[in-house]
Every structure is written in structure tokens, then in C-alpha cells.
Structure 1
Amino acid sequence: MVLTVGLDVGTTSSKAVVVCENGKILAQGRAGTPWDTSASGVQVAACDLLESAKAALSLALKDAPSGRIVALGITSMGESGVLVDAQSRPLTPIIAWHDTRDGQELADLRNHVTEDDFARRTGLPLRAQWSLTKHRWLLDHVPAAGRAVRRLNIAEWIAFSLGGEAVTEQSLASRTGWLDLATRDWWSDALEWSGLNVSLLPELVTAGTNIGTVAAEAGLSRLTGAALTVAGHDHQAAVVGAGAGGTRDVLDSCGTAEALVRTIDPGLEPGAVLKLTRAGITVGWSAIADKWTMLGGTQAGVILQTTLSMLGQSTRDICRLDGEAAGTRTGGLRLRGKDPASLTLEGISGHVTPARVWMAAVDAVTAQADEVHTAMNAVVGPHASMVVTGGWSRSTALLKAKERAFGKVRLSSVQETGARGAALFGGMAAGLFGDIHDFPAPAQTPAAAFPQQGSLVGPDNTSRDRVPS
């Protein structure tokens, strides 16, 4: 039996899967991401993150059937990176994508470039999140950063540490603020502002590119000699893993954050890019060769969890709430707010039941997702297929609300879509597949046929863990 392995290094945890040639997941493992949270911010030591990733791989390999493992594909969260010295040793901590310690750097960047110019150039809204302000902060506060000879994104660092060549994968590059969207080349002004010499950035590649093999020194004996590839930004690996990589497909990932991801042909006019970024939607190079990706998100999962907590309920109660909410009208009850820390209920009158409040929350997060979806459609046209994944997609009330808003939706049978997508890109690196059109499709189920499984909902059952990256 020929096997491939996929690794998804995410905000909450690293997930590893072992996949056979027909795309079925045969074994999986998980290990928590060891963030260090303090008054200064959220960060993790690069070597600790590497060990967590290897632990997830070891757990998956332990349960894997016998067979020849030919490839390992690695995807990860974006924006965060690793600076290494001439001996390939990490010099600085990995700052979390959502860490806001770079507020002063962001303010300085705003003095150097307008929001519109930054967005047209990079496809990103000008806000805290991207790599360039984090790098500037490191140079200003961590003296060792000045000795760096390489800068790697997280998936690239893990692959490099396991024996691969140093590369920069294009979808991860598009999350840095350094890549010119139109030219697919480095933006010299952004590099200069952040103090990054272009020599620190390895060659740009696409997901599925063979970058070497897993070394014996990595300590993962079953993977030794397996082809290595960086499978890109985890949302985009999830698109591939869920079978939603067509240009008229939408992946709706309903995790702690809700992310809508759509693959498109490159070459949008700058005005169209600006229209999307003003709506909070990013535009960047895709993990899929010769494609771009639109990505927009909301805090839907956090809002739903906050609503449950307000009601004194947990995710175990969702099946019951969904049942009670069936056919229930909100009666003018509205949940307002996009920030989970400042939600309000309006229109309270008569007998307000938990089911009515739950439906108000479901309607609210669906309306927020519809805003993102509508903004995408206004630029590239309507979608043909929507695939829903992630833990909150097990709520039948949420699925019905989505079908009212978006038309028919389909549920992916795959929970770890990012890791599965990474495994398939690994198969491309090993020569099992010529391109993504050769990838085996996962099973999908019409939402109407999916059984009610509220108890499965929650962040531990999600494919992604943040907004919107």
C-alpha cells in the first residue's frame, strides 16, 4: 500500500493524517500548539513548535497501517515566521498571527503608505496581522534578529527542519505584506520599510513542489526518504482537502472563525482588489498553481459559543436547541454585533426562549457570512457549489440558515481538510499525481441528508482556528 502524510500546523494544534492513494484518511494524530501567553503577547519557541508538529506526526504514524510512505506535505497558519542563523538555528520567537504587539509599527507603516496603495499592491487590508510589521518589531526589540540569514514561514520552517530545502511557498508569501500581487515578486518598498533584506527570502515555489526528502536525523523513521513539500496556507490546503478548488466553488469553513475561501483566476483589476479589501477580504496567490484566492471571514464560531454561554448551555446542547428551534420564528428578536465582546439582543418581547435566542444568533452569523459572500460575488460572479466544513457545520439550524442564504450546500465528509489537502500535495511532490485535477475527491453529503449531530460541534472539531487567515 502506498501512503502519503499530511501535516497542518494550526493555531490551536498540529494535525497529522495518513492517507492512501484514493484519498481516504487511515490514521490521524494531534498535538496542541504550545503558545506562551504573557503581558508582552503570544509567541512560541520555534523548536517547541517543531516538536509539537513531530508529536502529531508520531501519533498518526503509530496508528497507520503498514505500507510505503512516499511523501509528507506540510501546511500551516500564515503571517507568523521564523528567523534562522547561518547554522539554521532559530534566533527569535514565532509571534502569533493575532498578536498585537506591533501596534506602533503599524502606525508607522500607515505614515509611509496609504491603505489603498497597500491593498492594491499586496491584496491585503492594511491592519495588524501581516508579517512585515512583526518583522520590524523583532528587529527593533530582539537584537539577535539582525543575525538572520533566512526568514521562513511556519510550514516552510517545519519542512526545512525535517530535511527539505529552504523555500517560500506563494500562498504563504501572500500573507506577509512583502509580495506584490500583480507581479508575483517581492515589493522592494515594503522590504525596505520593515528592514528585511531580500536575500533572507528563499525561492518562491508552489504547493506540491518537491523540496527534498525527510532526513533520518528528523527522528521519524517511517518518514525517512519521503518526498517533502510545503502545501501552503492552511485555508487553501483545506480547499483542496475538501474538494472545493474549482473557480466557482466556495469553501465555507465553520470553525472558531468562519472563513469563506474561493479560488479564482489571477489578474483582477486593481479597483476590484481594492473593493474586496475594503470589505475585509484578502486577495493573494493560491496554493494551487496559477490561481489566486479570495479569503474573507467572520467571528461566527466565537459568537455562537458566546451565545451558548449566555444561555448557560454548551456545545452538547446544540442538538436539542436545533430541534427546539425547528420552525421557530425569532419574533423580531435580533442579535447585533460582530465583536463577540460586545453583542446585544434587540427586540426582546413576550416569551423569549433559549431556542429563539439561538436562532437569533444563527441568523446573525449567517447574515455576516452573506455580507462576505455577496462582496465576493459582486466582483467575480456567483458561485456554483458551496462546501461546508468545520465543527459548527454539525448544527442543522445553521445549515438550514445557510441554505436559505446561499442555496444548496454540501458537507465535506473530511474533518481534517487542511491536513488531507497537504497529504495530496505531498502525493504530487512524490509523482503520484500530475496536478490537482488528479487528486481523489472526498465524499460530500447534501446538507439536507446530514443527521443532526450537535454534540460534535466545537473548536476541537474545526479545520481552522481564526479570522480570517
Structure 2
Amino acid sequence: MRDELLLGIDLGTSSIKANAIDRHGRSIGIGVAPTPFVAGQHGVDMTISALFGAVQDAVAGLGALASRVAAVGVASMGETGTLIDAEGPSELPLVAWHDDRGSEIVRELVDAFGVSEIQRRTGRQPRSVTSVAKLGWLLRNGYSGRGTWTGVAGATVWKLTGAIAQEQSLAASSGAFDPIAGSYDEEILSALGLDSLAWAPARRAGTMMGLLSRPGSAWSGLPEGIPVTIAGHDHPVGVIGSGGDSTEVIDSMGTGEPLVVPWEASSPAAAHPAWPGQMGDLTITSWPGTERFMLLWETLRPGLAMRHLQRALGVDRSDIEFSSIRVEAEPLSLPQLLAMQDGEIPADVLSAQPEEAWAATLEGYAHAAAQAEENLRALAGVTGTTLLIGGGLRSRRWVEAKLRRAQYPVEMAEEREAVSRGAALLAGVAAGWWAPESYPPADTIPLSPGSAVRKGMGSRA
């Protein structure tokens, strides 16, 4: 039917979005609900019931459009998840990806395997953000659980279909998954005492992972029997939704700011590159819907730092963004930025005028990203444009800071809801509307290095 729509659900750090798009890839309606993370005694987490309630609220925001949905794709933040058994999801708290619980688990892994071996096995740094660190902490601190581990996207798919599923790029965020081999590392799981649990098999984004069940239809208001897929980790899915391709560097500006480049794992020896010391946190993951891979640089968390700074300064975000537009400032250093991401605001930042502190922080992030992009281009051999995507594009001050440092042509994605759009596009693959990467085009705005944003729109074929 020509009036059918695709639904992309984005389970983000700050909000949950349900985006209905048509056959041309255009958003027809969107529902939004806040992600119900709360700060508690041990850190930041949410309950499974609160998550499901927020998803239900976001879908309800579509109104009558929900009845026209022909397929559903779910994208989500990585790392955060739960265990599901025959009775349903456990009552384990859903620990936020940026929560630092599990640092001791990471130290155990490093002692057992060494950093370079963990990188070789998993394509990523050993970090507390990984699922195994969070799950290990929970099971050692008074929580019990059994069943199959999957992420919050998988839990939402279970609620809709009754099927337990996982997707490749989200499995890669577990800290115990080899993205090249496509399998979980039993030795890592065994070393942490997690091998008695099941881990949902990782499948390619766009695969039909279940049909919307009668209970799922009653809960969501979506039609029974339609295909549901997991679209993947939010950053890779945002690349799809914004029209990014394998010739570019994609800079995803948001709570986290990964830089994305294509990665060719042509042989086992080349599959897991040796990380240069200055590169920081590099991650190999799947290019959603395909057999290819992407490399992400994941050191920066601008949204966290700016949130901490905003609270410390006691300013309104929109006001400080406006007042900082024409302020010149020296960029903060990477160590200063990393401290701010942990909530530690340097004294010299706090003593500056608010607009100067804000401008210096954005200049610092632009400088750090520009240096990382240069290294990534050399590592991956990418010579194409730089594509800016994500919610951070709403900050004119941040975009202009990036343009001052640009060495390659820069484009800005017109699509602001890239993750939910990408999830909907992959739902179209599950529904048979199109083949992977034969999606309706996305629009971009070309920008000139060293100048302000120009109005205009270019179509990406």
C-alpha cells in the first residue's frame, strides 16, 4: 500500500524517538519521550519497566500514523542491556553506557589478557563502558540474573515480538565479541565468570528478527504481524540515516562524538590494527546492513562535558550558545576535556567568563577532533569529504570552530534525526522495500572551510 510507513525507534541517552518515514525517506511524524535514566546510590541507570514505558510514550506520540507502520527498526545506545529468560527480562538495573561501574572488571581483564590482546580479540579498548564490565559489576554486587544477554534494542524487540535477538554492531559493544569473526569470545567470558549465561546471537541489521506479536501490538498500538529488526548501535545507524558513505569521514556530534571511517578487514592479520598511541579509543564495528566494517574513534564525550559545565556555570544552554558565538578563545587541552567529561571542571575554566569558558570548550573539542581526523585518514586511507552529523549541529559556535580547522571539504547533514531515520531505513530492508544501501537519498549542506555556514542544500545520490 502506498500509504504504508516505516518506523525507526532510537533509544538514545537523553531521549527516545519514534520516527515514521515514507517511501521517499521523508519523516511524516515523530514521537519523543525522555530516556528515564536516573542518578542513584551506585550511579546512573533505569528500570526495564521505565524503558518500556518511555518507548510506549514515544510511539503513542505518532497518533494515527502508528496504524500505517509496515515494519519497525530499533537502534540504541551501546553497552546497556539486560538478561531475558522464559519469564521475560530480569529486574537488573539498566546501567547507563557512560556509568563507570565495572572498572575493577576491566582491570581483571587487562591483568589476564593484556591490552593489546583484548584489542586483537575484540577490536576495541578494554573500558568500563562495555557490557561485560557492567554485567560483571552487577552480578558481584548483590544482583542475580539468568537467561540471555541482549541490549536495550534487543529488549525492545522482545517486547514487540517475543523473540530474543541481537545485532552485530551492538554485540561489538559488549567487550567480549569479535566483530570480524562474528562470535563471542568464550575465554573472555569464562575469565569473568559470565560463560554460564547465554549471549543472543548477533545478526545483520535489516534481518527480520521477529514479527510483531498480538501482545506487542496491544502494548504498542502497532499492527500485528509486521517485521521487526534491530538496526544497530546508534552511531553507525546515524551514518546510514544521514546519508554517509564509505568515501568520507563522518563526524557524529552529540553526547559522544565518534569519528567514523570505513575499515577493510581483508585478512586476519589486518583485521585488528595496532593502535598508534596517540589514537586513543578505536573501535571496529559493522557497517549496518552489510558485510563491511567501520572504524570509530570514540574518545570524546562533548555532551557530557557541556552538561557538567552548564551546571557548574549555572547558565541556560541556549543563552550561553548565543553569547559565545563571537567570542574568541584558545582551545582547552584534551586532558582538560577528558576531566570535564568526568565532571571535574578545571579551576581556570570556572574562573573565566561563562561565554569564554563555553567557547574554549567547543574550540577544544573541535581541535581534538581535527587532530584525530588527520590520524584516521592516514590509517584508513580516506580522502573524501568530512560529513558532520548529529544533534551537535544545532550549535553554530561548534560548527564554526570545526570549519576553522577543516583541511577537506565539509558537508553538514540536513537530517537532524539521523539515528531514527537510519533505523527506519533498515526496517525497510526487513520489509523488502529496498536492498541495503539502496536507500532514498539524504540531503546535505555544503560548507566552506574557514567560513560561516552557507545556506543551501545538495542531494546525495
The question of whether the paired residues in 1 share the 8 Å contact of 2:168 and 2:179 is answered with: no
Amino acid at match of 1:156: G
How far apart, CA to CA, are the structure 2 residues paired with 1:237 and 1:421? 5
Q: Secondary structure at the match of 2:210?
A: coil
Instruction: Report deviation, 1:48.
Output: 2.0
8 Å CA contact retained: 1:214, 1:225: yes
Counterpart in 2 of 1:462?
none
Match of 1:240 in 2: 240
Residues 248, 382 of structure 2: 8 Å contact kept:
no
Give the superposition deviation at 1:334: 4.7
Which letter maps to 2:263? I
Which residue in the other structure is 2:431 paired with? 430
Deviations 1:133-183 (A, max 9, x none): 2222233234531xx221111111100111153222110111111112442
Partner amino acid, structure 2, of 1:184: G
**Structure 1 10/354 Cα, relative in aligned 2: closer, same or farther at 3 Å?**
closer
Post-superposition Cα deviations, 1:297-321, rounded to whole Å, max 9, x if no partner, equal: 3133444566666495632343453
Seen in structure 2, the aligned counterparts of structure 1 residues 116 and 102 have a Cα distance that, compared at 3 Å, is same
Deviates more, 1:220-229 or 1:356-365: 356-365
Cα distance between partner residues in 2 of 1:439 and 1:121: 33
Q: CA deviation at 1:198?
A: 7.1
Give the equivalent residue in structure 2 for 1:258.
257
Q: What's the C-alpha RMSD, in Å, of the aligned pairs?
A: 2.8
Q: Give the letter aligned to residue 426 of structure 2.
A: F
* Larger RCO (alpha carbons 8 Å, 6+ apart): 1
* Match of residue 314 from structure 1: 317
Q: TM-score, normalised by structure 2?
A: 0.86
Distance 1:32 1:372, change over 3 A: same
The aligned residue for residue 216 of structure 1 is: 214
- Partner AA of 1:129 in structure 2: V
**Helix, strand or coil for the counterpart of 1:98?**
coil
User: In 2, distance between residues paired with 1:279 and 1:189?
Assistant: 25
Shift of 1:36: 3.5
CA shift for structure 1 position 77: 0.8
d(CA) in 1 for partners of 2:354, 2:184: 52
The 5 Å alignment of 1:377-396 reads 377-396=377-396
Whether the aligned pair in 2 keeps the contact of 1:4 and 1:71 (CA below 8 Å) is yes
The separation in 1 between residues aligned to 2:421 and 2:446, in whole angstroms, is: 21
CA distance in 1, matches of 2:196, 2:42: 29
- Larger deviation, residues 292-301 vs 155-164: 292-301
Please report how far the alpha carbon of residue 127 of structure 1 lies from its aligned counterpart in structure 2 after TM superposition: 1.9
Matches within 5 A, 1:272-291: 272-275=273-276, 279-291=280-292
For 1:10, give the aligned amino acid.
Answer: G
Asked whether 1:51 is paired with 2:53, we answer yes
Kindly provide the amino acid, as one letter, of the partner of residue 254 in structure 2. G
Structure 1 residue ranges without an equivalent (≥5):
453-469
CA distance in 2, matches of 1:201, 1:37: 28
Change (3 A) 1:189 1:396: same
CA contact (8 A) 2:388 2:413 kept: yes
Identify if the C-alpha distance between structure 1 residues 277 and 83 changes in structure 2 by more than 3 Å, giving closer, same or farther: farther
CA distance in 2, matches of 1:277, 1:392: 25
Q: Distance in 2 between matches of 1:103 and 1:257?
A: 19
Q: Is the 8 A contact 2:19 2:30 kept in 1?
A: yes
Aligned to 1:71: 71
Q: C-alpha displacement at 1:20, in angstroms?
A: 0.3
User: Is the Cα–Cα contact under 8 Å of residues 101 and 133 in structure 2 kept in the other structure?
Assistant: no
How many residues align? The count is 436
Q: Distance in 2 between matches of 1:194 and 1:295?
A: 26
Contact 2:179 2:286 in 1 (8 A): yes
> Quick check: 2:157–2:165 contact (8 Å CA) kept in 1?
no
Q: Within 1, Cα distance between the matches of 2:302 and 2:203? A: 33
Q: Deviations over 1:384-437 (max 9, x none)?
A: 12221233323334323323323322221221111110000001000001112x
What is the rounded CA distance, in whole Å, between the counterparts of 1:75 and 1:435 in structure 2?
16
Match of 1:124 in 2: 124
Distance 1:162 1:276, change over 3 A: farther
Q: Which runs of 5+ in 2 are unaligned?
A: 456-461
Q: Which stretch of structure 1 is more off in the superposition, 304-313 or 291-300?
A: 304-313
Which of residues 152, 155, 158 in structure 1 aligns to 2:156?
158
Partner of 1:466: none
Q: 1:35 to 1:301 in 2, by over 3 A?
A: closer
Q: Classify 1:295/1:230 alpha carbon distance in 2 versus 1 (closer, same or farther; 3 Å).
A: same
Match of 1:410 in 2: 411
1:391/1:109 CA distance change after superposition, 3 Å: same
Per mean C-alpha deviation after superposition, the further-off stretch among 356-365 and 291-300 is 356-365
Secondary structure in 1 aligned to 2:237?
helix
Alpha-carbon displacement from aligned partner over 1:94-148 (angstroms, at most 9, x marks no partner): 2222222323322222221101111111111112111112222233234531xx2
TM-score (norm 1): 0.84
Give the match for residue 225 of structure 2.
225
Q: Is the 8 A contact 1:214 1:223 kept in 2?
A: yes
Give matches, 1:187-202, under 5 Å.
Answer: 187-197=185-195, 200-202=198-200
- SS across alignment from 2:211: coil
**Are residues 307 and 447 of structure 1, via their aligned partners in 2, closer, same or farther at CA, if it must alter by over 3 Å?**
farther
CA distance in 2, matches of 1:43, 1:354: 30
- Out of 173, 176, 182, the position equivalent to 1:175 is 173
Distance in 1 of aligned mates of 2:301 and 2:89: 36
Measure the CA separation in 1 of the matches of 2:15 and 2:124.
26
Distance 1:270 1:411 in 2: 31
The Cα of 1:54 is off from its aligned counterpart by 1.7
Q: Distance in 1 between matches of 2:109 and 2:443?
A: 46
1:353, distance to aligned residue in structure 2 (A)? 7.8
Return the letter of the residue paired with 2:55: A
Matching of residue 399 in structure 1 with residue 399 in structure 2: yes
Contact 1:124 1:277 survives alignment (8 Å): no
Q: Is the 8 A contact 2:149 2:197 kept in 1?
A: no
Where 1:144 maps in the other structure, the secondary structure is coil
* 1:28 counterpart residue number: 30
Partner Cα distance (1:353, 1:144) in 2: 49
C-alpha separation in 2, matches of 1:213 and 1:155? 15
Separation in structure 2 between the aligned mates of residue 47 and residue 353 of structure 1, nearest angstrom: 43
Q: Which residues in structure 2 correspond to 1:58-97 (within 5 Å)?
A: 58-60=60-62, 62=63, 64=65, 68-97=68-97
